[in-house]
Amino acid sequence: GRGPYDPQNVFAKILRGEIPCKAIFENEWVLAFYDIAPKAPVHVLIIPKNPYVSFMDFSQTAPAEEIAGVMRATGQIALDLGLEENGYRLITNAGLHSGQEVPHFHIHLLGGKALPAFPA
């Protein structure tokens, strides 16, 4: 989650339309699309359109309006997918110990089955 933003990361390429994704939601703040290697029946990634390396970068430098916009959109997507009744999980990996692979802040939205006990 530290260091400069790498504009060649895979989510930056998705945002620029250089590689395809299966998008399900877009607004002024976020793009959301299905994970290419789903870990649950529903596995969506919600990413800000602006370049933040990780949660630390986002939470500490994004304008409050943008933080609210990303959180509001994330909840809206869970609602739109019908996940509210049976529940869902949000995860964000930040930095080395988390195993974060893509250095563009993203929120995993997982649902559609009973998920393994945290922190699986």
The pair of structure tokens assigned to 6 is 């790498």
SS3 107: strand
**Quick check: 12 binds ligand 5GP (CB under 6 A)?**
no
Q: Is 108 a catalytic residue?
A: no
Give the range of 55-63, 71-79, 100-108, 112-120 binding ligand 5GP by CB under 6 A.
100-108
Q: Is 95 left (phi over 0), alpha (psi -120 to 50) or beta?
A: left
Q: Which of 120, 97, 100, 102 is nearest to 33 (CA)?
A: 102
C-beta of 28 vs 101, nearer to ligand 5GP: 101
Cα–Cα distance for residue pair 26/94, rounded to 1 Å: 23
Contact residue for ligand 5GP among 29, 33, 52, 88 (CB under 6 A): 33
The pair of structure tokens assigned to 75 is 């909840």
Contact residue for ligand 5GP among 9, 24, 25, 35 (CB under 6 A): 35
**Quick check: 37 binds ligand 5GP (CB under 6 A)?**
yes
* Residues with catalytic roles: 106
Task: Tell me which residues touch ligand 5GP (CB under 6 A).
Answer: 10, 19, 21, 33-37, 45, 93, 99-102
